[in-house]
Amino acid sequence: MDWSTTIATQVAQIPRSGIRAFFDLVTGRSDIISLGVGEPDFVTPWNIREAAIYSLERGHTTYTSNYGLESLRRKIVTYVENFFGVSYNPLNEVLVTVGVSEAIDLALRALLNPGDEVLYHEPCYVSYAPSVSMAYGVAVPIATKKSDLFALDPAALEAAITPRTKVLMLNFPTNPTGAVAPVETLEAIARLCIKHDLVVLSDEIYSELRYDDVRHTSIASLPGMRERTLLLHGFSKAFAMTGFRLGYACGPEPLVSAMMKVHQYSMLCAPITSQEAAIEALENGTPAMLEMRESYRMRRNYLVKRLNDMGLDCHLPGGAFYVFPDVSRFSLSSKEFAERLLMEAKVAAVPGDAFGASGEGFLRCCYATAFELIREACDAMERFVDKLQKE
């Protein structure tokens, strides 16, 4: 069989994840310090793991409702109302999914007809463009700038809107830049979405992870936006639960029920063990989450200072657990910089262009890594940068 012509075009065309390609170089190398993978270094808090164990002990090993356990949906609604200030009906406006990843996929498949355009700010999470293509949509990135601290410029958004634009994807705080959008910016974006009748997929997976006095505003909470916004959130980052694979989508009933149609025949439901653990996370997980956040805050401050001190210009990001230093002053592409950093300094970080063309010239360093390792990585990077300066 000729597989090169047999695999579906929209899948065959998808490039390999820049992050994965890079990390294949690192796998199995114990001599390398990784600031690479965007995953908490903390083990899931014990009370949440215990809830998962208890769920199994009680023999809860079945499917759940396609929407997810009603008891979990009720907890989600309360949490979202307190945290984001938006109310949803737990019976038909909340869908529990296998991570935010599945929620993104379902939303795009539920919304897009072939050729519909989806806008998103870039640099962005690596899955956005492929997810749009796999749903037969057209992915349209809008470059953001360091001078705007990587927030989306409403004027650039308006310029990118065409009669085919159907969806805007937002992600604040942002992977890979840690950007947060000021409320005034979100308000201007909201006005444009209303004017041009766009649906917003708002990926707020890092919303708890914001530092100092940075506040989080969900675009869904702004006037006129609840009816056109799907709020995506999950447990992976704030509660250190990546392996539980649990997320959720809250939004208008017609969209949630269209997503449900796809979900019921693809995933059926999210794992019951994870759903029961998630109830514990929402009920009693906040103190542990705040402790992890404080640790991230200290690591962020240290890493940003060290990067600036060694001559790599780096803004202090307001959220998530990434910093995005500018490495463009050396005559190297960000891929070349990252490769040499890996080979010569034994530090792994992701080249900015893995997150889209506008990430070129930058490097993503994840600080969800033990403080001691961050310090060692900074020492090695400093020696590497000194060496580059002398070349």
Choice from 10, 66, 78, 242 touching ligand PLP (CB under 6 A)? 242
Nearer to ligand PLP, 152 or 310 (CB): 152
Residue facing ligand PLP at closest CB distance: 99
Identify the CA nearest to 180 among candidates 206, 198, 156: 206
DSSP assignment letter at 315: -
For residue 273, the minimal CB distance to ligand PLP (Å) is: 16
Is 275 one of the binding residues for ligand PLP (CB under 6 A)? no
Is 101 one of the binding residues for ligand PLP (CB under 6 A)? yes
Residue 287 has φ and ψ, to the nearest 5°, of: -60, -45
Crossing angle for the helix pair 272-284 and 70-84, to the nearest 10 degrees: 40
Provide CB contacts within 8 A for 17, sequence distance 6+. Answer: 126, 354
What residues numbered 298-337 form the site for ligand PLP, per CB under 6 A? Answer: none
For residue 233, the minimal CB distance to ligand PLP (Å) is: 9
For residue 6, the minimal CB distance to ligand PLP (Å) is: 29
Which residue type sits at 141?
P
For residue 362, the minimal CB distance to ligand PLP (Å) is: 16
* CA–CA gap between residue 141 and residue 122 (Å, rounded): 6
* CA–CA gap between residue 306 and residue 291 (Å, rounded): 23
Is 203 one of the binding residues for ligand PLP (CB under 6 A)? yes
For residue 57, the minimal CB distance to ligand PLP (Å) is: 26
Is 171 one of the binding residues for ligand PLP (CB under 6 A)? yes
Q: Which stretch binds ligand PLP (CB under 6 A): 74-82, 160-168, 183-191, 234-242?
A: 234-242
Q: Which stretch binds ligand PLP (CB under 6 A): 97-105, 131-139, 208-216, 274-282?
A: 97-105
For residue 205, the minimal CB distance to ligand PLP (Å) is: 5
Q: Are 104 and 127 in contact (CB under 8 A)?
A: yes
What are the E-state strand segments in the chain? Answer: 33-34, 94-97, 117-122, 138-143, 165-170, 199-203, 229-234, 247-250, 322-323, 347-348, 350-351, 363-366
For residue 175, the minimal CB distance to ligand PLP (Å) is: 4
Nearer to ligand PLP, 278 or 385 (CB): 278
For residue 242, the minimal CB distance to ligand PLP (Å) is: 5
Is 205 one of the binding residues for ligand PLP (CB under 6 A)? yes
Is 99 one of the binding residues for ligand PLP (CB under 6 A)? yes
Instruction: Determine the distance from the C-alpha atom of residue 209 to the mean position of all C-alpha atoms in its chain, rounded to a whole number.
Output: 11
What residues numbered 116-145 form the site for ligand PLP, per CB under 6 A? Answer: 125
Instruction: Determine the distance from the C-alpha atom of residue 239 to the mean position of all C-alpha atoms in its chain, rounded to a whole number.
Output: 14
Token digits for 370?
Answer: 């033990």
Q: Are 317 and 361 in contact (CB under 8 A)?
A: no
By the criterion CB under 6 A, which residues form the site for ligand PLP? 38, 99-101, 125, 171, 175, 203, 205, 234, 236, 242, 247
